[in-house]
Structure 1
Amino acid sequence: MDFKYVTQEERERLYNEVWDEPLKIVAQRYNMSDNGLRKHCKRLWIPLPSVGYWAKIKAGKKVFKPDLPKVRGELKRYVHSYAIKYRSDIDKYSDVELQSMKGLSLLTDGTIRYVNEICSNIEVKNQLRNPHNLIKQHKDELMYRKRRDKELQQASFNTDYYNITKSKYRENKPMIPIYVSEVNLNRAYRIINALLFAIEEMEGFANVMLDSGNDKGYFVIMKTTFYFIMMEEGKNKSKNNAEEHVPILVLSLSAGDEYYKCTNYSFKFKDKVDEPLEKQIGIIILEMLQTANKILIEEMLRDREYEREIKKKERQRRLEQMRKGELEEIKILQQAASDWNKAEEIRKFTNQMELKIGEIEDEEKRHKLSRWVLWAKDKADWIDPLIEKEDKLLGESEYIFEEIIETQ
């Protein structure tokens, strides 16, 4: 277990362990001191038995065991899978079965209930209290940009003065891409604020960046990135007067991965006459989660296809290796057969020579030729792959039995 970053299941298991056995015993199991384990438990908000707890257990007395605190606040930095938990049996499903899965099929039943409960109870406050850091950042950056742009506009009549004024200001910092009029800004803040905190409740997060100088915002939830234009204004016909137009708020979202050429998803949520955006936050989050579910399934199917391709290539590589090995063994066989034939031909030839030598009357010539025949027979034995032989000059012979053993 990596105590710096644990899953909720690991945290729950550790909580049960330190209440089932003394801390010293549990610490030994994790190869650390009891003081080191105590520090990890404190950081993970895991309550520990008080002094005298184990003595009371031994005496059969009734003891108090506090509940494990829920994951919130600072603890979210150290614990994951505390809200979004995935089913453990997904790998058992075939590709066809996986493709047919809808909704939040990758999540456990408990997680689905948790998500539905949060989405059903999201409330956009009438006043912006305890704003999210990204909201604060947007307020500060928007104020800075307005002040800077106003001064630069005033200085635009004089190039030198403009350049001096411009040098006083830094480059833009990224902020949430909100494009609404001043009258709708506070309302947009309140909607976004509720959305940000609700996503964080489900183990997601949001951030902003600059993309080619433009503000770009994104959510990450269920391992999926959603880019967004948080708010912009549209037009809608008034309920009372068909000719009168009133501004509405629109939230645009998109997700997908162009690199893998998977399906790109984009959708917009806007004010409706009977359902303003404030009432749609839960629907928006459910749509995001269901889209993330689809994208994760697509990724799983791609991973499966990739693994199959890797295995296919590995099989082909092994077959090619076996084929090359087979060809190599055939070469050895052919060479051995050829060498054996050569040895046999030499022996036949030397046998005929011996017959001819017997007909020579000169004893010295017969002696020299007989020595050559012995030499030739010795070389035939060295060439013969069925005979293991070593020659002083030529070295060891190619003994077929050793060749076969080495290649198996």
Structure 2
Amino acid sequence: MEEGTPITHIDRERLYEKVWSSPMSHLAREYGVASQRLKDLCVQAKIPTPPAGHWTRVAAGKSVIRPPLPEAARDASIVIIAPSPSCNKTSSQPARVEADGRKAKSATKSIPGPKQKSSAKSAPYLSVPTQLRNPHRIIAAWLEEHQRSRENARRSTLPGLAPTPFTSVDRRRQRILDTLFKAIEKAGGKAIEEDRKKLAIELEGEAIPIQLREKNRQIRRSLTEDEKRWSWNAGKDWKLELQPTGKLVFEIKRYLPRDFRQDWLETDEVTLEACLPEIFNTLTRAAPLLALETQKRRERERLARIAEHERYLAEQARKRDDNQWQRFLEVADNWQRHERARHFLQALKQLDLDPDIMIGERSLGEWLVWVERRLTTGNPLNQGIDTLFADIEKVTNYTYSQQHKHW
């Protein structure tokens, strides 16, 4: 929000919809006021606001309760939001930073020294101390592990077990992370250490992986006499090697929405300590947007699963319909065979036959009676049409094998 933001007149209904569609901190920046001021205006206008943890539950896909907008007096249907001068000042710098986006890779291109100092003063709890006191639990665990390794190395007779001593860059890295972690947790977030000491910031239910490391540069180093004798270095006088620069780089290892910066490389003019307020603002401002993106993605996935299930049910219904039709055709074929057998029996009866002739254990007349009985019991029409379709109704999509040819 830039200076000179106009006063906003907005309907209660419209403000009610916006309050329940976006975090209060986002709307506060949009209107140039503090979050608490915007919430007080909603209370005065009898507009219910989301409770604490609402957006975290939304991001997690949990159900939330949205109270209805109560009626208000006719003369109170418009809410007037007057921007706060202090909010306009503090929000102007992040706007300039976002405008630079990823075009500026070093801290000097987006945060000149004098302006960064004023930003650090505006957020004193982000001031990095010169000494580490009462370290954050993650930093404390690192220090304890390093101390245990040193003690184990002293007790061991095996060489090479002692851990590498912390450098001045290591100490700076610990202090910067300690300051950032504590600030994030004051803002309602949490610092997370994942496998292999990978770090992440959790805000609004979103885990944002981060990395703070020393920047290396690639240099040409002349080969030693011993290295020149190695076969794979035949004909070579130098090799490429990474060398520490003593400069720190902070990286956000997750894709952020458009215009958010992802990395900060300190220079001789601006240290990473001076960039910490911008890093903090980027994380806290990007987290709600990431939570909304996660919510939309989960909704898309849920709708996709519903559509896939509906397609599955439709396919099962189609298979069952095909199998029921197959059963009907089988009954029709059976009836047609009975009709042919009945005509054949009538033709046999027209012949001049002696019914008393014995054929096996039956006489010819008994054989004719047996044929008539089978024609009667096996004719599908004699079982009744309701029995016919009741039999077809029992057919499922698993009644016939997949290789059976459908009609």
Query: What range is the shorter-chain TM-score in?
Result: 0.3 to 0.5
Compare relative contact order (CA 8 Å, sep 6+) and give the higher one, 1 or 2: 2
